[in-house]
Amino acid sequence: MMRTTNHEPRTTELILALDVDSFSKAKYFVDLLYPKVKIFKVGLQLFIARGKKIIRYIREKGGKVFLDLKFYDIPNTVANASKEVVRMGGIEMFTLHTQGGLEMMRRVKEAAREEALRLGIKAPLIIGVTLLTSEAQSSKITPLVISLTRAARTAGLDGVVASVKETRCLRQVFGGDLIIVTPGIRFAGGEKGDQKRIATPEEARKAGSNYIVIGRPILEAQGPLITARKIIRKIS
């Protein structure tokens, strides 16, 4: 049975994907865009290069960190990794793969909550990755994303990563309290890159995304701050 809900949250927030290879480049964009942009995604490339240093810097500036490492391993390994994320401090939310299974997701949720309680700090939001937006659209995708999201909710996760193509349906099925983070955001007529299931910022807001993740369209713009401001106006 589908839940009835308003598809559009009051606002959709922009997350800048710091998909760069050095601390100096990441620092440049944080300095340029904060506080207009308040949340910064640290993914695999930057985390391996200078992860903890840039996370500290973002927090010292007053920004929030979306740690996007997409954990996927046996339950014990991922649960222990989630404890390290909590100990790191200052992480607003982090990701794991929902295809890791129900036990893995439950163990991660429990481990992160217990570690945050032990340290007396706020636990990060845990966001489950459903299917990557580099996957081409097909009739099988939406039912699979719904199934993976249902497992994520059963495990107690706070939300999921999903393309705009699935967001509206997820809102209908799971209601307004599910956090939806949407990558694959591009401008109309812009380059797709390696993304397949893409949408514009306005389409993501109308579908019900809480957050949109944008990297290259801002990082490679002639005026990154001007571009970020335009996007924020479109989604607020």
Catalytic site residue from 70, 83, 206, 234: 70
**For residue 176, with 0-12 CB atoms within 10 Å meaning exposed, 13-18 middle and 19 or more buried, which class applies?**
middle
In this predicted structure, what is the pLDDT of residue 109? 98
Contact present, 36 and 228 (Cβ < 8 Å): yes
| Residues contacting 223, CB < 8 A, separation 6+ | none
Q: How far is CA 177 from CA 32, 80, 192, 236, in A?
A: 32, 27, 30, 19
What are the structural domains of the chain? Answer: 13-235 (3.20.20.70)
196 noted as active-site residue: no
The tens digit of pLDDT for each residue in 156-190 reads 999 999 999 899 999 999 999 999 999 989 887 55
Cα angle 6, 101, 169; round to 5: 20
The tens digit of pLDDT for each residue in 31-88 reads 999 999 999 999 999 999 999 999 999 999 999 999 999 999 999 999 999 999 999 9
Residues paired with residue 68 on neighbouring β-strands, in sequence order: 43
Residues paired with residue 159 on neighbouring β-strands, in sequence order: 127, 179
Tokens of residue 126, six digits: 């845990």
